[in-house]
Amino acid sequence: MSVSHNDIDEQEMLARLQLGEEMAFRWVYDRYSRAIYGNILRLVHDETVADDLLQDVFVKIWEHREHIDPNQSFRAYLFTCSRHFAFNFRRRLQLEIEAAIQMARGYVDSDDTVVDSLNAKETEALLHGAISELPTQRQRIFRMCKVDGLSYRQVAEQLGISEATVRDHIVKANKFIKDRLIQGGGYSALLLTLWLLTTS
Protein backbone atom coordinates (compact mmCIF):
# COMPACT_ATOMS: atom_id res chain seq x y z
CA MET A 1 0.00 0.00 0.00
CA SER A 2 1.46 3.34 -1.02
CA VAL A 3 1.97 6.20 1.40
CA SER A 4 -0.29 9.19 0.73
CA HIS A 5 1.13 12.52 -0.33
CA ASN A 6 0.10 13.86 3.08
CA ASP A 7 2.96 11.83 4.53
CA ILE A 8 5.64 13.64 2.53
CA ASP A 9 7.48 14.51 5.77
CA GLU A 10 7.70 10.84 6.66
CA GLN A 11 8.93 10.02 3.18
CA GLU A 12 11.69 12.55 3.61
CA MET A 13 12.65 11.12 7.00
CA LEU A 14 12.70 7.59 5.63
CA ALA A 15 14.93 8.71 2.78
CA ARG A 16 17.28 10.24 5.34
CA LEU A 17 17.14 7.07 7.40
CA GLN A 18 18.25 5.13 4.32
CA LEU A 19 21.33 7.35 4.25
CA GLY A 20 22.11 6.55 7.89
CA GLU A 21 21.04 9.79 9.57
CA GLU A 22 20.59 9.12 13.28
CA MET A 23 18.22 12.07 13.63
CA ALA A 24 15.85 10.41 11.17
CA PHE A 25 16.09 7.15 13.08
CA ARG A 26 15.18 8.91 16.35
CA TRP A 27 12.24 10.58 14.59
CA VAL A 28 10.95 7.20 13.40
CA TYR A 29 11.44 5.65 16.84
CA ASP A 30 9.60 8.48 18.60
CA ARG A 31 6.74 8.31 16.13
CA TYR A 32 6.14 4.55 16.16
CA SER A 33 7.70 2.93 19.23
CA ARG A 34 4.63 3.29 21.46
CA ALA A 35 2.28 1.68 18.94
CA ILE A 36 4.74 -1.11 18.12
CA TYR A 37 5.29 -1.80 21.82
CA GLY A 38 1.54 -2.14 22.30
CA ASN A 39 1.28 -4.54 19.38
CA ILE A 40 4.07 -6.74 20.74
CA LEU A 41 2.65 -6.68 24.27
CA ARG A 42 -0.70 -7.95 23.01
CA LEU A 43 1.10 -10.94 21.52
CA VAL A 44 3.54 -11.87 24.32
CA HIS A 45 1.69 -10.57 27.44
CA ASP A 46 4.94 -9.69 29.19
CA GLU A 47 6.20 -6.12 29.51
CA THR A 48 9.87 -7.03 29.91
CA VAL A 49 9.80 -9.28 26.86
CA ALA A 50 7.89 -6.62 24.90
CA ASP A 51 10.56 -4.04 25.77
CA ASP A 52 13.32 -6.36 24.56
CA LEU A 53 11.53 -7.25 21.33
CA LEU A 54 10.79 -3.59 20.64
CA GLN A 55 14.50 -2.86 20.76
CA ASP A 56 15.17 -5.85 18.49
CA VAL A 57 12.69 -4.50 15.93
CA PHE A 58 14.36 -1.11 15.76
CA VAL A 59 17.85 -2.61 15.71
CA LYS A 60 16.75 -4.54 12.63
CA ILE A 61 15.34 -1.36 11.09
CA TRP A 62 18.67 0.40 11.58
CA GLU A 63 20.77 -2.51 10.32
CA HIS A 64 18.62 -2.92 7.19
CA ARG A 65 17.79 0.74 6.63
CA GLU A 66 19.07 0.69 3.05
CA HIS A 67 16.22 -1.67 2.13
CA ILE A 68 13.48 0.71 3.33
CA ASP A 69 11.16 1.94 0.57
CA PRO A 70 9.97 5.49 1.43
CA ASN A 71 7.08 5.06 -1.02
CA GLN A 72 5.57 2.14 0.88
CA SER A 73 3.71 2.09 4.20
CA PHE A 74 6.39 2.11 6.85
CA ARG A 75 3.81 1.58 9.60
CA ALA A 76 2.66 -1.67 7.98
CA TYR A 77 6.28 -2.75 7.62
CA LEU A 78 6.96 -2.12 11.32
CA PHE A 79 3.86 -4.02 12.43
CA THR A 80 4.83 -6.96 10.24
CA CYS A 81 8.33 -6.98 11.74
CA SER A 82 7.00 -6.78 15.28
CA ARG A 83 4.62 -9.70 14.72
CA HIS A 84 7.49 -11.71 13.25
CA PHE A 85 9.67 -11.10 16.32
CA ALA A 86 6.80 -11.88 18.71
CA PHE A 87 5.86 -15.13 16.96
CA ASN A 88 9.51 -16.20 16.85
CA PHE A 89 9.79 -15.57 20.59
CA ARG A 90 6.69 -17.66 21.29
CA ARG A 91 8.01 -20.44 19.03
CA ARG A 92 11.37 -20.48 20.86
CA LEU A 93 9.58 -20.49 24.21
CA GLN A 94 7.48 -23.48 23.18
CA LEU A 95 10.61 -25.37 22.09
CA GLU A 96 12.27 -24.57 25.41
CA ILE A 97 9.21 -25.81 27.29
CA GLU A 98 9.18 -29.06 25.33
CA ALA A 99 12.90 -29.53 25.94
CA ALA A 100 12.43 -28.90 29.67
CA ILE A 101 9.67 -31.50 29.82
CA GLN A 102 11.82 -34.08 28.07
CA MET A 103 14.75 -33.31 30.37
CA ALA A 104 12.56 -33.64 33.45
CA ARG A 105 11.17 -36.95 32.26
CA GLY A 106 14.70 -38.20 31.79
CA TYR A 107 15.37 -37.67 35.49
CA VAL A 108 12.10 -39.14 36.72
CA ASP A 109 11.82 -42.85 37.50
CA SER A 110 9.05 -44.33 35.37
CA ASP A 111 7.87 -46.28 38.44
CA ASP A 112 7.45 -43.13 40.50
CA THR A 113 3.86 -43.26 41.78
CA VAL A 114 3.64 -39.47 42.05
CA VAL A 115 4.37 -39.06 38.35
CA ASP A 116 2.13 -41.98 37.42
CA SER A 117 -0.83 -40.48 39.27
CA LEU A 118 -0.29 -36.85 38.30
CA ASN A 119 -2.65 -35.64 35.59
CA ALA A 120 -3.83 -32.32 34.27
CA LYS A 121 -6.74 -31.98 36.71
CA GLU A 122 -4.58 -32.76 39.73
CA THR A 123 -1.96 -30.27 38.59
CA GLU A 124 -4.61 -27.59 38.15
CA ALA A 125 -5.95 -28.34 41.63
CA LEU A 126 -2.46 -27.97 43.10
CA LEU A 127 -2.03 -24.63 41.37
CA HIS A 128 -5.37 -23.26 42.50
CA GLY A 129 -4.73 -24.47 46.02
CA ALA A 130 -1.41 -22.65 46.16
CA ILE A 131 -2.91 -19.49 44.66
CA SER A 132 -5.71 -19.52 47.24
CA GLU A 133 -3.11 -19.29 50.03
CA LEU A 134 -1.85 -15.93 48.78
CA PRO A 135 -2.87 -12.76 50.63
CA THR A 136 -6.08 -11.30 49.19
CA GLN A 137 -4.51 -8.38 47.29
CA ARG A 138 -1.63 -10.49 45.97
CA GLN A 139 -4.02 -13.21 44.86
CA ARG A 140 -6.16 -10.67 43.03
CA ILE A 141 -3.16 -9.16 41.24
CA PHE A 142 -1.82 -12.60 40.35
CA ARG A 143 -5.13 -13.68 38.82
CA MET A 144 -5.48 -10.42 36.88
CA CYS A 145 -1.99 -10.80 35.37
CA LYS A 146 -1.67 -14.56 34.94
CA VAL A 147 -5.25 -15.68 34.40
CA ASP A 148 -6.93 -12.65 32.83
CA GLY A 149 -3.81 -11.76 30.83
CA LEU A 150 -3.70 -8.08 31.82
CA SER A 151 -0.43 -6.17 31.65
CA TYR A 152 1.20 -4.68 34.74
CA ARG A 153 0.17 -1.24 33.50
CA GLN A 154 -3.48 -2.25 33.12
CA VAL A 155 -3.59 -3.83 36.58
CA ALA A 156 -1.92 -0.79 38.13
CA GLU A 157 -4.47 1.54 36.53
CA GLN A 158 -7.44 -0.57 37.62
CA LEU A 159 -6.25 -0.90 41.21
CA GLY A 160 -4.78 2.58 41.58
CA ILE A 161 -1.27 1.35 42.42
CA SER A 162 2.13 1.62 40.74
CA GLU A 163 3.47 -0.83 38.16
CA ALA A 164 6.41 -1.48 40.49
CA THR A 165 3.97 -2.61 43.20
CA VAL A 166 2.23 -4.95 40.75
CA ARG A 167 5.57 -6.42 39.67
CA ASP A 168 6.63 -6.92 43.30
CA HIS A 169 3.40 -8.81 44.06
CA ILE A 170 3.88 -11.06 41.02
CA VAL A 171 7.49 -11.88 41.89
CA LYS A 172 6.55 -12.77 45.47
CA ALA A 173 3.49 -14.74 44.35
CA ASN A 174 5.54 -16.78 41.88
CA LYS A 175 8.11 -17.63 44.54
CA PHE A 176 5.45 -18.59 47.08
CA ILE A 177 3.59 -20.85 44.65
CA LYS A 178 6.76 -22.54 43.43
CA ASP A 179 7.91 -23.18 47.00
CA ARG A 180 4.52 -24.69 47.84
CA LEU A 181 4.48 -27.04 44.86
CA ILE A 182 8.09 -28.09 45.27
CA GLN A 183 6.87 -29.77 48.46
CA GLY A 184 4.60 -31.88 46.26
CA GLY A 185 7.44 -33.16 44.08
CA GLY A 186 9.92 -31.91 41.49
CA TYR A 187 7.68 -32.73 38.54
CA SER A 188 4.85 -30.64 39.96
CA ALA A 189 7.24 -27.71 40.35
CA LEU A 190 8.26 -28.06 36.70
CA LEU A 191 4.64 -28.06 35.56
CA LEU A 192 4.02 -24.92 37.57
CA THR A 193 7.01 -23.18 36.01
CA LEU A 194 5.78 -24.06 32.53
CA TRP A 195 2.29 -22.85 33.39
CA LEU A 196 3.65 -19.52 34.60
CA LEU A 197 5.72 -19.12 31.43
CA THR A 198 2.85 -19.83 29.06
CA THR A 199 0.42 -17.49 30.85
CA SER A 200 2.74 -14.59 31.64
In this predicted structure, what is the pLDDT of residue 200?
47
**What pLDDT, on the 0 to 100 scale, is given for residue 110?**
45
Question: What digits encode the pLDDT tens for the residues 24-75?
Answer: 999 999 999 999 999 998 888 878 788 889 999 999 999 999 999 888 899 9
Count the alpha carbons within 13 Å of 155 in the hemisphere toward its beta carbon.
28
What residues contact residue 155 under an 8 Å CB cut-off, 6+ apart?
A: 141, 144, 145, 166
pLDDT of residue 124: 63
Top CATH class, 108-199: mainly alpha
What is the C-alpha separation between 200 and 195, in angstroms, rounded?
8
pLDDT in the model for residue 44:
84
- Burial of 68-103, coded b for 16+ CB within 10 Å and e otherwise, reads bebeebbbeebbebbbebbeebeeebeeebeeeeee
What is residue 2's predicted lDDT score, i.e. its pLDDT?
42
Residue 72 pairs with which residues in a beta bridge?
2
What CATH topology corresponds to 5-89? Rna Polymerase Sigma Factor; Chain: A (1.10.1740)
The pLDDT of residue 102 is 59
What residue ranges of the chain are covered by domains with CATH 1.10.10.10?
108-199
Which portions of the chain are predicted below pLDDT 70? 1-8, 96-125, 181-200
Q: Where in the chain is the domain with CATH 1.10.1740.10?
A: 5-89
